[in-house]
Amino acid sequence: MQALTPCRLVSISYDVLQGLYARHACWLHWGRWVVEAQFLYKCRRETAFLRASAAERYAALHQDYPALEQQVAQYHIASYLGVTPETLSRLRAAAPGPAAVRS
């Protein structure tokens, strides 16, 4: 795992987390919320790979994270979308709006 932009990272050991779960119900609810959110994200991402075209995945990424292309290298975006950098270039050129102008 690599941070591509400046960020803050918080880590907690498994044993400490289990202790918090045991002592405070709010942490147990928080942990459940995190796991459910990640599960839904994973399901949506896998569904997109099965049902959506590369162009549809690119459009969704651009809609959800409009400034991402200015912050992250194109090969990272291509990898996230499951396409080659060349395919991403074609998708960007075919997309309406500012992405087409930049190509």
47 and 57 together in one domain:
no
Q: Is the pLDDT of residue 91 over 80?
A: yes
62 and 89 together in one domain:
yes
66 and 99 together in one domain:
yes
Q: Is there a domain that residue 30 lies in? A: yes
Q: Is there a domain that residue 9 lies in? A: no
Q: Is the pLDDT of residue 96 over 80?
A: no
Number of domains the chain contains: 2
99 and 59 together in one domain:
yes
What pLDDT sits at residue 101?
A: 43
**Residue carrying structure tokens 């102008």:** 101
58 and 101 together in one domain:
yes
Question: Which stretches does DSSP call E strand in the chain?
Answer: none
pLDDT per residue over 37-90, tens digit each?
999 999 999 999 999 999 999 999 999 999 988 988 999 999 999 999 999 999
Residue range of the domain that includes 69: 53-103
Q: Is there a domain that residue 25 lies in? A: yes
pTM: 0.73
The residues near 72 (Cβ < 8 Å, ≥ 6 apart) are 4, 5
